Every structure is written in C-alpha cells, then in structure tokens.
C-alpha cells in the first residue's frame, strides 16, 4: 500500500513512522508512506496555501488550487470517477464520519493507494471535496489540524496489512476487532507490591482461561462502553 500525506506542517511527521510496527512494515515493503508539503504545490509568488473565508468569519481556509495540483500530481487526475480502483482520497476533518475499526479494516483490505489530506481546524475550501472519496474524523473533540488524525489512520490501517504484525493472530484479539474491549493482561512477576496475578491464568486450563478472559472483557466493556454491547445486541 502507498500512503501519501498532504499537509502544511510536514515536520509534524518527522520520525512518527520510524518506530515499531509501522517502521517494520515500511522496511518489509508492506507500506510506503510519503509526506508532501502542500506549499510545494502553490504556484503564486508567495506560495499562499490559505486565505480568509468569503462571507467573513474566524481563521483561514485552505485554498483549492494547491490541493488540486497536489492530487493531480500524485494521482494523475482529480476527477474521482477517473481514480484507479483501490484509490482513496481522504479528507481528515472534524466534519467527517467517525473512524471505527471496521473503516480501517475496509481500507486495509481494499485500498492500494491512500491520499490523506490534513485539513485545518478552520476549514478547507469546499470545492476540494469534489476530489475526495472519504471524509473522516477521529472522534468528537477538536484538534488544530488533521495531522494527528492522519497518523492515527495510517497506524490503524498499516497494522492490519498482511504481514505487518509478527504474530498474525494478535490483530484478531485486539479491543474492537471483536466488537468489545480487550481482557486484562498480566506478566511476571506473579506478585507485585502485594498484587497477585489471577489464579486462573496460572492454572494451565485453557478453557477456563478463555472463559475468564471473555467475562472480564464483557465486564470492562459494560463499565466503560455500554454502547459497544448495544451495537452487538448483547
């Protein structure tokens, strides 16, 4: 998969993809991630990327020309109907659909080319949306820009690509992939500051362990995310 990120703050991404699973996936050729400065695609002498909103209001709005030029430069066209199959042009914005595991999985499954556009909090000229296939938000809170969201989406998608996780089973057991939160984990030492590892985990009885884990996962989910259980009809 090829992921291109369009941003006015390319330095935001320095080093973020050079650790852990993403770094490994990059080195293994599973994913390629390129960051592009939107300013490089501005043609006027001041390389202006934003301007004041028509109609008045606070803040600055990202101008359409540099974004269209960038999309055309990377994809050969900014006409959605001409995108190659498996191409997603994603606008990261608080106005988007909330990102959930199933969206990330769908992108990991089908997409070959993903272009992530980091919007500004104040906004992006609406005409850019004609070139966009998905509008995504990472949650109901305000970020200054789409940059942190691009990192979140790139991470959530990359770790699901075949071969990205050393242990292929581990994505299936993650919180959310089964629609509920993860069970609690313990490692050495068996006793720490008076806190013991639950006996059942030391029992070697795999059936009992599975049962305990499922109960604990449900208990946790009931406590903090009742909405997830309702979605599953439990």
Given the structure tokens 């006996």, which residue do they identify? 199
Kindly list the distances between the CA atom of residue 90 and the CA atoms of 30, 59, 80, 98, 128, in Å, as whole numbers in the listed order: 20, 22, 12, 13, 11
Residues that bind ligand 6GU (CB under 6 A): 92-94, 119, 121, 137-139, 141-143, 145-146, 149
Minimum CB distance to ligand 6GU smaller for 57 or for 139: 139
Helices 101-110 & 147-158 angle (0-180, nearest 10) = 70
Measured distance CA(155)–CA(34) in Å, rounded: 14
Per DSSP bridges, beta strands 2-7 and 113-118 are parallel
Residue 155 φ/ψ region, left for φ over 0, alpha for ψ in the -120 to 50 degree band, beta for the rest? alpha
Q: Are 146 and 119 in contact (CB under 8 A)?
A: yes
Catalytic residue numbers read: 94, 122, 159, 174
Measured distance CA(184)–CA(218) in Å, rounded: 11
Measured distance CA(221)–CA(133) in Å, rounded: 33
Residue 180's closest CA among 212, 210, 225, 138? 225
**CB of residue 132 vs ligand 6GU: minimum separation in angstroms?**
13
Cis peptide before 124 (omega within 30 of 0): no
Q: Are 116 and 53 in contact (CB under 8 A)?
A: no
């Amino acid at each position: 998969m090829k992921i291109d990120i369009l941003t006015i703050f390319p330095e935001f991404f320095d080093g973020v993809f050079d650790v852990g699973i993403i770094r490994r996936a990059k080195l293994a050729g599973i994913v390629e991630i390129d960051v592009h400065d939107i300013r490089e695609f501005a043609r006027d002498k001041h390389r202006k990327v934003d301007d004041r909103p028509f109609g008045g209001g606070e803040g600055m709005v990202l101008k359409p020309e540099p974004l269209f030029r960038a999309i055309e430069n990377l994809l050969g066209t900014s006409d959605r109907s001409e995108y190659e199959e498996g191409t997603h042009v994603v606008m990261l914005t608080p106005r988007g659909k909330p990102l959930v595991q199933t969206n990330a999985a769908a992108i990991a499954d089908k997409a070959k080319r993903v272009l992530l556009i980091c919007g500004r909090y104040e906004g992006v000229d609406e005409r850019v949306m004609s070139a966009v296939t998905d509008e995504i938000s990472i949650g109901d809170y305000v970020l200054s820009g789409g940059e942190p969201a691009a990192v979140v989406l790139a991470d959530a998608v990359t770790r699901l690509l075949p071969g990205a996780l050393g242990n292929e089973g581990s994505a299936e057991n993650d919180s959310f992939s089964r629609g509920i939160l993860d069970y609690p984990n313990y490692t050495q030492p068996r006793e720490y500051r008076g806190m013991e590892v639950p006996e059942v985990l030391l029992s070697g009885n795999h059936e009992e362990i599975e049962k305990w884990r499922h109960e604990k996962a449900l208990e946790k989910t009931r406590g903090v995310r009742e909405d997830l259980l309702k979605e599953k009809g439990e």
